[in-house]
Amino acid sequence: MSGGNKTSVVSGGAGFLGSHLCEELLERGHRVICLDNLDTGSLRNIAHIESDDFEFRNQDVTEEVWIDEPVDFVYHLASPASPIDYQRLPLHTLKVGAQGTWHMLGVAKFKRARFLLASTSEVYGDPQIHPQTEDYWGHVNPIGPRGVYDEAKRYAEALTMAYHRQQGVDTSIVRIFNTYGPRMRANDGRAIPTFLRQALLEQPLTVFGDGSQTRSFCFVDDLVRGLIALAESGEHLPVNIGNPDEYTLQQLAETVIEVTGSGSEVVHEPLPTDDPQVRQPDISRAKEILGWEPKTELKDGLKKTIELSGEGDLTGETA
């Protein structure tokens, strides 16, 4: 179903993941309409896109969204995504998960387009099962500092399934696990950009807690391939997309030091509230339904991130 004459609308298209998705869709011959209010995204992420098939619209998706032209796919990625952002914008995060998702589902319904909700592994909260399968319902603290994000995404998933079941909208839900690559913001507080910035500036790498908590990290090109594969499938139930290779935060910090050749050391800081102890996707469904699996190993992905990032991007000097 790729390519020729298809139109995709990407909310959050000027963000980290959204900008890579826009590029790949253009590469596959889609016309792309990027909606973004630039809250956490930036025009810098899309400035290099020169295609006539690309259009940026400065649009807050919590306001009414109107698209004149026919649409085939609606990718709904708009949402603050890093803890620093959603804790700075708690009400907006809830609003974009609720009203933003209503509006984007409305576009999909009106246009009879396929809809993809960018959900998150955070819907599993601090998981009691490991690795996380899609049929696990989660263990989320609704009133903790992360609750605004986790519950916004859980609500968005419920809304998406309701639109599908009641209104017959052709929907899909991707639960994205930690993803990294060029255009992450150096100061957004997530582990990989923080460690890269610290390592490149020869500052100590700050690991929270004793560093034994685990995460798994997916390179952005793999992730984008998974999003498009899911959007182009007929699947309606949630699908995990992420890299199942699991690392402790301590191992990640050491790997970043190795890859950057930095002389930095690792220091430890107190663990933030409700920081999940483990995070690892079970990607059996993605493999089975989409034939998808990640190809990029952590060290290679980190090297590519460094190579492909603009000068000063990783150290925050151009932020």
Residues 23, 25, 33, 41: which binds ligand NAD (CB under 6 A)?
A: 41
Catalytic residue status for 247? no
Give the nearer residue to ligand NAD in terms of CB position, either 114 or 183: 183
Tokens coding 306: 């460094």
Write down the catalytic residue from 149, 163, 180, 247: 149
CA distance 202 to 111: 51
Residue 194 as a binder of ligand NAD (CB under 6 A): the answer is no
Instruction: Name residues contacting ligand NAD, limited to 218-237 (CB under 6 A).
Output: none
Residue 60 as a binder of ligand NAD (CB under 6 A): the answer is yes
Residues 7, 8, 40, 250: which binds ligand NAD (CB under 6 A)?
A: 40
Looking at the DSSP bridge assignments, the partners of residue 256 are none
Residues 148, 176, 224, 257: which binds ligand NAD (CB under 6 A)?
A: 176
Instruction: Name residues contacting ligand NAD, limited to 17-36 (CB under 6 A).
Output: 17-18, 35-36
Site string for ligand NAD, 243-282 (x = CB under 6 A): ----------------------------------------
Contacts for 66 with CB less than 8 Å, ≥ 6 apart? none
Tokens coding 250: 């301590």
Helices first, then strands: H and E counts in the chain: 10, 13
Looking at the DSSP bridge assignments, the partners of residue 86 are none
- Output the smallest distance, CB 37 to ligand NAD, in A: 4
Angle between helix axes 220-231 and 16-27 (nearest 10 degrees) is 60
Residue 72 as a binder of ligand NAD (CB under 6 A): the answer is no
Instruction: Name residues contacting ligand NAD, limited to 94-153 (CB under 6 A).
Output: 96, 100, 118, 120
* DSSP letter for each residue of 296-312: --HHHHHHHHHHHSPTT
- Output the smallest distance, CB 263 to ligand NAD, in A: 28
What φ, ψ does residue 266 adopt, rounded to 5°? Answer: -100, 130
CA distance 38 to 14: 7
Considering only CA atoms, give the Rg of the chain.
19
Residue 9 as a binder of ligand NAD (CB under 6 A): the answer is no
Tokens coding 3: 């390519």
Contact region for ligand NAD (CB under 6 A) — 7-15, 198-206, 249-257, 260-268?
Answer: 7-15
Residues designated catalytic: 149
